[in-house]
């Protein structure tokens, strides 16, 4: 038998043996994460401990860009022992006898809640942009325009589980050093952190993967921007943009490096972030979602963002509208884009002049004549009718027009505005003609919320909010 023949025989024999082995025996390698790069012993201890204590958290981090760049738990969570947000409870993890990594020699002060101030060590521009946005300042905005809070018409726990989940809480610790459960857990976009910074980056880049792909998809925004008062995710889904995303979104390059995500190359139709945040053409990337807005569509009376009394933007609405047009023209022709904005501007004008201003004038007249009581809100039918005219139907009409969702513009928007307006005006005129005071809801439930503006947000400036 020649050498070549012998080699062929041995190879064939080995192949037959391998094929005969059970499937599990053919592939015995186990997926593992090896810590072979330079990092401190304390950093390694955090990783090894969390591998066993919270493996889901560890796996998220291990598959993140942070891990690839050797950014560990300590780089984000480490604090000074005197910091107000340092975790007293975490110190007890270094007094364990059942975990080799939970000993005193690995002890390092950490803060449970990572804040924009922490993130700014590596992402200074993004944090600076975010700090001037409506997202970061949404607690202030909410307290200035929301009668539920200012009139105490819902309970503190209803707010904590509902309103504050998206808008953000004011983080506090209890006397025993734990994060106060009335303020935590929370990743609201306007959360006031104990280090003084506003917001939570993990609102959009959820921990601990912090995926740029996740933050670019519309579902990231749809966690908060939904429902009867600001249904942007439903509006997007109805629009042509959303229909194309549903059909082809799985083919988009969602994980392109920041600053390189390109219309027509990486995606065929935009998501929320593509229009409002991502760089496109000559328009630079921003984490200030107040940019590119020509109108303040959430406001009771539509105004330019710089004229929004609750939070005047550091922008010029007309200039920003041109910036958004430049985003649109990455995929659309100029005549198409200009015509769309003619339609939006006209819808804004009609909402303001036909619906909001007459209704507001009537509401003021009812208060002036004592037909309605001003001490509380929502305890009289017409107050609810007026609120939902701008806060529900009015927003849907304006936002539906802006994002090209005709059903929300008309059937959920202006059509409902007409019904709300007619009912409001008919009842108001009847009360004025008869001199009858409106019926009050005596048993309005759970109207016991604190009406004090948070001094941490308003810097001890108390008082009633201005009428917007």
Decide: 158 and 146 in contact? Cβ < 8 Å.
no
Q: For residues 32 and 26, give the distance between their C-alpha atoms in angstroms, rounded to a whole number.
A: 18
Q: What pLDDT shows up at residue 37?
A: 61
**Domain assignment of residue 403, given as a range:** 345-434
Residue 89: DSSP 8-state: G
Mean pLDDT for 433-446 is: 95
- Is residue 23 very low, low, confident or very high in pLDDT (cuts 50, 70, 90)? low
Residue 196 in domain: no
Q: What pLDDT shows up at residue 33?
A: 61
Q: What pLDDT shows up at residue 97?
A: 85
**11 pLDDT higher than 50:** no
Mean pLDDT for 434-445 is: 95
Output the pTM of the full model.
Answer: 0.87
- Is residue 459 very low, low, confident or very high in pLDDT (cuts 50, 70, 90)? confident
Residue 152, Cα to own-chain centre: how many angstroms? 25
CB contact burial 435-466 (16+ within 10 A = b; e otherwise): eeebeeeeeeeebebeeebeeebbeeeeeebe
**217 pLDDT higher than 70:** yes
Q: For residues 40 and 17, give the distance between their C-alpha atoms in angstroms, rounded to a whole number.
A: 46
**19 pLDDT higher than 60:** no
**196 pLDDT higher than 70:** yes
Residues present in the chain in total: 468
Token duo for residue 351: 């909402």
Q: For residues 22 and 339, give the distance between their C-alpha atoms in angstroms, rounded to a whole number.
A: 67
Tell me the pLDDT tens digit for each residue of 157-168: 999 999 999 999
Percent of the chain whose predicted confidence (pLDDT) is above 90:
84
Backbone angles phi, psi at 186, to 5 degrees: -160, 135
Contacts of 361 (CB under 8 A, 6+ apart): none
Q: For residues 18 and 23, give the distance between their C-alpha atoms in angstroms, rounded to a whole number.
A: 9
- Is residue 93 very low, low, confident or very high in pLDDT (cuts 50, 70, 90)? confident
Decide: 411 and 235 in contact? Cβ < 8 Å.
no
Q: What is the separation, in whole angstroms, between the first and last Cα of the chain?
A: 97
Tell me the pLDDT tens digit for each residue of 224-267: 999 999 999 999 999 999 999 999 999 999 999 988 999 999 99
Residue 160 in domain: no
Residue 103 in domain: no
Tell me the pLDDT tens digit for each residue of 400-436: 999 999 999 999 999 999 999 999 999 999 999 999 9
Q: What pLDDT shows up at residue 29?
A: 63
Q: For residues 363 and 359, give the distance between their C-alpha atoms in angstroms, rounded to a whole number.
A: 6
For the chain, give the mean pLDDT.
91
Q: How many domains does the chain have?
A: 1
Angle subtended at Cα 217 by Cα 215 and Cα 218, rounded to the nearest 5 degrees: 110
Q: CB burial class (10 A; 0-12, 13-18, 19+) of residue 109? A: middle
């Amino acid at each position: 038998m020649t050498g070549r023949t012998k080699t062929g025989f041995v190879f064939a024999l080995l192949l037959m043996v391998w094929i005969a082995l059970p499937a599990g025996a053919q592939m015995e390698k186990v997926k593992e994460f090896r810590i072979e790069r330079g990092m401190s012993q304390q950093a390694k201890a955090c990783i090894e401990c969390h591998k066993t204590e919270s493996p889901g958290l560890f796996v998220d981090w291990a598959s993140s860009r942070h891990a690839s760049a050797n950014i560990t738990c300590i780089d984000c969570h480490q604090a000074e022992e005197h910091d107000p947000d340092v975790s007293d409870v975490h110190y007890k993890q270094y007094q364990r006898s059942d975990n080799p990594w939970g000993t005193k020699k690995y002890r390092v002060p950490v803060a449970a809640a990572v804040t924009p101030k922490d993130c700014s060590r590596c992402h200074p521009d993004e944090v600076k942009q975010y700090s001037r946005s409506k997202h970061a300042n949404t607690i202030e905005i909410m307290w200035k325009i929301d009668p539920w809070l200012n009139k105490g018409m819902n309970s503190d726990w209803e707010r904590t589980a509902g309103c504050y989940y998206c808008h953000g809480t004011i983080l506090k610790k209890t006397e025993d050093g734990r994060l106060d459960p009335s303020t935590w857990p929370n990743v609201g976009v306007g959360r006031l952190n104990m280090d003084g910074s506003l917001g939570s980056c993990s609102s959009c880049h959820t921990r601990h993967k912090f995926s740029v792909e996740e933050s670019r998809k519309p579902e990231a925004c749809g966690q908060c921007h939904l429902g009867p008062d600001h249904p942007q995710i439903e509006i997007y889904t109805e629009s042509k943009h959303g229909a194309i995303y549903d059909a082809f979104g799985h083919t988009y390059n969602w994980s392109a490096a920041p600053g390189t995500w390109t219309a027509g190359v990486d995606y065929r139709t935009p998501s929320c972030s593509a229009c409002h945040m991502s760089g496109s053409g000559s328009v630079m990337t921003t984490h200030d979602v107040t940019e590119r807005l020509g109108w303040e569509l959430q406001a009771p009376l539509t105004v330019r963002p710089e004229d929004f009394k609750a939070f005047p933007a550091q922008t010029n609405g007309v200039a920003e509208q041109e910036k958004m047009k430049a985003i649109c023209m990455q995929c659309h022709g100029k005549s198409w884009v200009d015509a769309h904005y003619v339609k939006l501007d006209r819808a804004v004008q009609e909402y303001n002049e036909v619906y909001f201003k007459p209704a507001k004038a009537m509401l003021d007249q009812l208060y002036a004549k004592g037909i309605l009581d001003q001490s509380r809100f929502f305890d009289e039918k017409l107050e609810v009718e007026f609120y939902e005219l701008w806060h529900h139907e009015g927003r849907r009409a304006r936002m539906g027009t802006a994002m090209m969702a005709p059903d929300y513009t008309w059937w959920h928007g202006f059509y409902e505005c007409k019904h709300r307006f007619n009912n409001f005006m008919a009842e108001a005129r009847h009360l004025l003609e008869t001199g009858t005071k409106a019926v009050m809801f005596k048993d309005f439930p759970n109207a016991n919320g604190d009406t004090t503006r948070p001094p941490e947000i308003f810097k001890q400036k108390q008082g009633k909010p201005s009428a917007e």
